[in-house]
Structure 1
């Protein structure tokens, strides 16, 4: 069978993690970011599934050849995960193996689910690789602000509730983010039009969430916010971590213009829950 762990028991899964791979399951297991964990055995887990708090993936950790876990996985998805996903308006699953060995297992387990694959790239950057000379100039109508308590509570900012909602997709509370995360936003008058912040953190590594409003794209605002984020990471002796789909050429371009270097890539599996 498959059971859910209480948060205070997540530590039991630490030895199942591939710490040379994905940041997100590490951050959940370490209790930094929000998420849920399902395992084969509450006391001595050997295989598990980490559901990220922002609903952006189910990461499979531990032994991929665990017959006990694998036998129950599809019924567990149908009988439990589907119902839980509906509560948060999630209509599909993104499944990711925390090691390459999981790819074969996931293909076998989901072969009847009409899944599709996608390729994901992961980049990291050391401070000596940072291309600070390529930082773009920002148009005078915009200002850049640190994502601090003042910004997130300012009543005159028309859309800071949207930003807070974005933060709370992966952080348990805004206070947790303010204490541990790093973030910058770009303002057009009283509106946030671009942001870059830590959505997952493991040790000294900060995973980047970055977004620009559609009507403001093409004005290098994401690059400007990312430069501010990267500089603050290095000021705090943190390591920035960037990932995006292989098809997202715009995101790849921004990452490489900052100096990010390929770290690893992986395959994801996606299928509908309907």
Structure 2
């Protein structure tokens, strides 16, 4: 059976597998134990292959793809343990990225493992450019303003006390073990309308000085009003004030997200494949 690596000291062994991915923020946060997730490897010491689940975000296969023992057990772990838990947490889609060891190729393994039923999409990474962000701020003096009736706030303890619907807490706990951890390591902003939080932009994963951005305007009625841009701009400033680096990753079909990232000085990188299929479909066959 696969080995559950439940201690950061054990997970640290996997760091070399992600060192060539710009210190991958999501996996790095889970490996460090900061954000919620599970890590399974082929063996406890000197693992060669691993499955990482970053809750409410992504599954990752990393390392050697020709590890037959590991490959034969992945589906069992997914179907019997991780995917039912993901469903209970509100996830309905298996999203999977692969980071093979040089010379490895997960394609044929995935095809066999999922009976050729995985679909393929594209993820779009961005790299923050401080100069471009500063130029955008100079051009857009209204970047932090929101329409009348809305209020832009930094997420702090006072904002959480005022949030009677507990939307901020729920969003934080999708990714973090505790609100206290979030306040220690993460930052966030929100917009409020008639006393209710209608949008948030928070650090969903943190690895060292790197912060992965998660942004959401919950009700479509509040979209298209510049709220997301204002929250994201204030969020980026908060990250920079901590002398940290904001990161932004999204799917190629999320055009609004791509537009906002580009506005704020994030430079678009080359899209890379992501594999997906409905969780229930996988559990049913």
What's the TM-score, normalizing by structure 2? 0.86
Corresponding residue number in structure 2 for 1:151 = 159
| Residue 82 of structure 1: how far off its partner (Å) | 4.3
Rounded to whole Å, the distance in 1 between the matches of 2:109 and 2:152 is: 43
Other structure's SS at 1:95 match:
strand
Partner of residue 118, structure 1:
121
Tell me if structure 1 keeps the 8 A contact 2:42–2:70: yes
Change (3 A) 1:28 1:234: same
Give unmatched runs, 5+ long, in structure 1.
none
Q: Retained in 2: the 8 A contact 1:34–1:172?
A: yes
Q: CA deviation at 1:142?
A: 1.8
* Matches of 1:106 and 1:270, distance apart in 2: 15
Select the residue among 182, 204, 211 that pairs with 2:209.
204
**d(CA) in 1 for partners of 2:117, 2:46:** 33
Shift in Å at residue 124 of structure 1? 1.9
Give the deviation of 1:153 after TM superposition. 2.3
Maintained 8 Å contact 1:49/1:58: yes
Q: Normalising by structure 1, what TM-score? A: 0.89
> In structure 1, what is the Cα distance between the partners aligned to 2:173 and 2:28?
18
Q: How much has 1:51 moved relative to structure 2? A: 0.7
Equivalent of 2:273 in 238, 244, 267? 267
8 Å Cα contact 1:60-1:102 kept in structure 2: no
Give the unaligned 5+ runs of structure 2: none
1:232 is aligned to: 238
Say whether 1:51 aligns with 2:57. Answer: no
1:195 Cα offset (Å): 1.6
Q: Are the structure 2 counterparts of residues 152 and 102 from structure 1 closer, same or farther at C-alpha, using a change threshold of 3 Å?
A: farther
Q: Tell me, yes or no, if the aligned pair for 1:124 and 1:239 is still in contact at 8 Å.
A: no
Residue 105 of structure 1 deviates from its aligned partner by 4.6
The aligned residue for residue 3 of structure 2 is: 3
The question of whether the paired residues in 1 share the 8 Å contact of 2:111 and 2:117 is answered with no
Alpha-carbon separation, structure 1, partners of 2:89 and 2:176: 16
Q: Describe the shift of the 1:169–1:19 C-alpha distance in structure 2 as closer, same or farther (beyond 3 A).
A: farther
User: Which residues in structure 2 correspond to 1:18-37 (within 5 Å)?
Assistant: 18-21=19-22, 22-37=24-39
Residues 234-243 or 168-177, more deviating: 234-243
Q: Contact 1:74–1:109 at 8 Å: present in 2 too?
A: no
CA deviation digits over 1:237-266, x for unaligned, max 9?
A: 211111111011111111111121023432
CA RMSD of aligned residues (A): 2.2
Classify 1:200/1:89 alpha carbon distance in 2 versus 1 (closer, same or farther; 3 Å): closer
Contact 1:123 1:260 in 2 (8 A): yes
How many pairs align?
270
Larger CA deviation: 97-106 vs 243-252: 97-106
Q: Map Cα deviations across residues 173-204 of structure 1 (whole Å, 9 max, x no partner).
A: 00000111011111123111222110001111
Q: Please tell me whether the aligned partners of residues 55 and 86 of structure 2 are also in contact (alpha carbons under 8 angstroms).
A: no
Distance in 2 separating the partners of 1:144 and 1:266: 34
Provide, for residues 198-239 of structure 1, a one-character-per-residue CA deviation record: whole Å limited to 9, x for no partner: 000111111111111311001000000111011222222211
Cα distance, 1:110 vs structure 2: 3.6
SS of aligned partner of 1:178? helix
Q: Distance in 1 between matches of 2:109 and 2:276?
A: 11
